[in-house]
């Protein structure tokens, strides 16, 4: 198995399941309806919904960078506002996150191992290569999955 195939598998597991640590992001979102997703049960914390949009935004940013384009998210892109709080909009948010994530997994799996040490477009830190970014997106999703787990517990009480 290539290194990028292993990285793609880790990215998939963090989001989709069969993760070593426990529940993946999608497993944590099971049973979360729009009301729970939009709630702010912990003061000064983002909602589950905001975190899902944030994760999707960063999956898309990594996908864009993988394609060779430098990108920096604005505050509005980083944590998009939830304007429509309907069940349909919540379902659409999850589906869009799944779609973006699946595109990212495919792109990483197809990425040549020989390019993993190349600098990511727009990044000036010497350590910020594709391997660092692909490993980092796994960490990012798991970090926010932990937050979602706590918010879900607090919101379902």
The 10s digit of each residue's pLDDT in 43-95 is: 999 999 999 999 999 999 999 999 999 999 999 999 999 999 999 999 999 99
Give the Cα separation of 145 and 50 in Å (integer). 12
What's the start-to-end Cα distance of the chain, in Å?
Answer: 44
154 compared with 14, residue with greater pLDDT? 14
Percentage of residues in the chain having pLDDT higher than 70: 98
pTM of the predicted protein model:
0.95
Domains assigned to the chain: 3-155 (1.20.120.450)
């Amino acid at each position: 198995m290539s290194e990028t195939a292993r990285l793609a598998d880790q990215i998939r597991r963090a989001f989709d399941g069969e993760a070593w640590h426990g529940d993946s992001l999608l497993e944590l979102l099971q049973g979360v309806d729009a009301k729970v997703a939009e709630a702010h049960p912990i003061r000064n914390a983002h909602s589950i919904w905001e975190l899902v949009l944030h994760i999707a935004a960063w999956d898309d940013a990594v996908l864009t960078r993988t394609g060779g384009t430098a990108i920096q998210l604005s505050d509005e892109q980083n944590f998009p506002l939830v304007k429509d709080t309907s069940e349909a909009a919540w379902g659409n948010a999850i589906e869009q996150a799944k779609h973006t994530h699946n595109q990212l997994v495919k792109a990483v799996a197809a990425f040549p191992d020989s390019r993993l040490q190349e600098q990511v477009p727009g990044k000036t830190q010497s350590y910020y290569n594709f391997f660092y970014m692909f490993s980092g997106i796994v960490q990012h999703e798991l970090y926010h999955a932990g937050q979602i787990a706590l918010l879900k517990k607090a919101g379902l009480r």
